[in-house]
Structure 1
Amino acid sequence: MSSPPASPAAAQPILPDDVLEDIFLRLDGAADLARLYAACSNFRRVISGPRFLRRFRFLHPPPVLGFLDFFRRNSGNGVFRPAQPPHRSAKGALALAQAADFNFSFLPDPGSWRVRDARDGRVLVSRGTSMTACTAEVGVGFTAEKLVVCDPLHRRFVQIPSIPSDLAVSAGYCGTEEFRPFFDPIRQDEEESSVRVICIVQSKSKVGTFVYSSVTGNWRYATSLDIEAYEWLRLPKLMRRHYAHSCFYWADFYWKQMLVLDTQRWNFLSSTYHLKSRGNTKPLWTSRHL
């Protein structure tokens, strides 16, 4: 007696790419994603898409391997502090410390550079002095300070053009007292290769913000704050910079004041805060706009 014919295999449902992306974004990490990538060509096409990769990397950031300590005096170019055991990234941190060049010997005239900021494997360095006069001549930077974005692991660097003096003069900045550059973190919808640098420029009467984007290759003037009424802003070197939720914060513990730069709206806010204590817990900060 012959066996009954086998029933045809059920057709596999075809899911739209956006549904597949949402499923893949819920994976635990890169290892699971690699296994899916090898499973079939349709998965490979979705996973290799720039949009999906940006979203996945935003939700699954690489492990922290350490930090570059450049706030200490006499630290030179900065000291890399790798993660230590039992931290899960200790092995990778040791490998990075051995492979990367945190002395920046691959830069022109090594030893003359000052670390200004570090984020996501990139380091912003500068050299020269910002205490220079400026003219309205187009194409001439109003500061002699050179800025370079470098990658210590792959020993690559890109020089950022100076802020054009005509832009600085039109914004009312010339002969500035302070010039503080730092990275503006890349957002989820932006390419990982893009770079954005913010420069806080301070004169005797106001604080201004200039923004450089690698997408346009140009600087633009963003916003300013009149500081004549705020005595606590006269000593900017004593204020550390912090970042959270697309905002930068500078706190002055003596005056109990805080300066906030909102990079979504590109405006400054000045606020005061109060320290509250609940028993032995850490102090809580509350703020109000002035």
Structure 2
Amino acid sequence: MMKKIVITGVSTGIGFSTAKILCNSGYLVYGSVRKESDAQKTKGQFGENFTPLIFDVTDAKGIHESAELVKNELKPGEILSGLVNNAGIALGGPVTLIDTDIFRKQFDVNFFGLIDVTKAYLPLLGAYKGSQSQGKIINISSVSGRRAHPFVAPYTASKFAVEAFSDSLRREMLLYGVDVVLIEPGPIKTAIWDKAPDPENNEFTGSDYEPALKRFYKMFIEMGKKGFDADIIGNRVKEILQNPSPKTRHVITPNRFMNYTLSGILPDRAFDKLTGKGLGLLKK
């Protein structure tokens, strides 16, 4: 029997690569997209092993309808082998200059949407007494869920929340045997970098933060262009699904020491100063 997987956000980037790799590896993949046009496109790209699910992760009704559709595809006693929570957006800006609604929008997609999807699909993953088998939940977090940087507070806060939620859920799921695993990517070559603000002309031009933001945006766009190919994440998802006891966290980033390790070993004040000096944020 072919194993069945649900992945959110498969039209581009990490979700696209993961769906492609799993379909080519013999999995039956149900992938969420928000538009009918993307449903048709992905169906053509991934072939007969793929079924599109049309819903937005902020639409609770759409999520539950998709779960009911997948449930009806499962044979008696069959469960989903995995749920990959990938759908997300990245919002940012200086905290003093952005509206609180930016934080709400960020959390609606990256955090509350992930929770709603997870809760809807948990029964299909074997999270009930008497289930003979269990699936895995793989949450796509970020190195920014462990290391916070300036100007991306909404995004970073949402990913920190995903990390905490995943740890709590994993321990609760010990009762049923459903595992919860985090993947924490650094810079990945995806379309998200095409949507990055113009360093020379953006909504914060003319503010006190303009010089620092120019450096920040240029640095992050350059890092994104030099990032890993999204297939590296898709292949790791496949490895996790096939491993009966995978690590709970998987940091995947180029230049791991600078992008992840350094901020974890330096005292907070030392890393603050290093960041402030690099971006020109130190008070004169």
**TM-score calculated relative to the size of structure 2:** 0.26
Q: Larger % of helix: which?
A: 2
Q: Whose relative contact order is higher, 1 or 2, with alpha carbons under 8 Å and at least 6 apart?
A: 2
Query: Which protein shows a greater Rg?
Result: 1
Q: Larger % of strand: which?
A: 1
